Amino acid sequence: MALSSELRLTIASLFAELELVDQAVDAFLQALAWDPDELPNVSLAVREAAANAIQHGNRLEPDLPVEILCTVEGTNLLVQVADRGDGFDPETLPDPLAPENLLKPTGRGILLIRNFMDGVTFEFPEAGGTLVSMRKRITAAKPGPSRDLNQKEDD
Among candidate residues 65, 74, 83, 70, the one with its CA nearest the CA of residue 26: 70
pLDDT at 91: 82
pLDDT per 10-residue tile (average), the chain, 155 residues: 77 98 96 91 97 96 97 95 90 87 85 96 94 92 53 50
Distance CA 133, CA 54 (A): 16
Neighbours of 128 (CB within 10 A): 12
Provide the pLDDT for residue 154.
Answer: 52
CB neighbourhood size of 13 (10 A): 22
pLDDT reported for residue 95:
86
Please list the residues that pair with 68 across neighbouring strands: 9, 81
pTM for the complete prediction? Answer: 0.86
**Domains of the chain by start residue, with CATH:** 6-137 (3.30.565.10)
Got the DSSP string for 77-102?
EEEEEE--S----GGGS--TTSGGGT
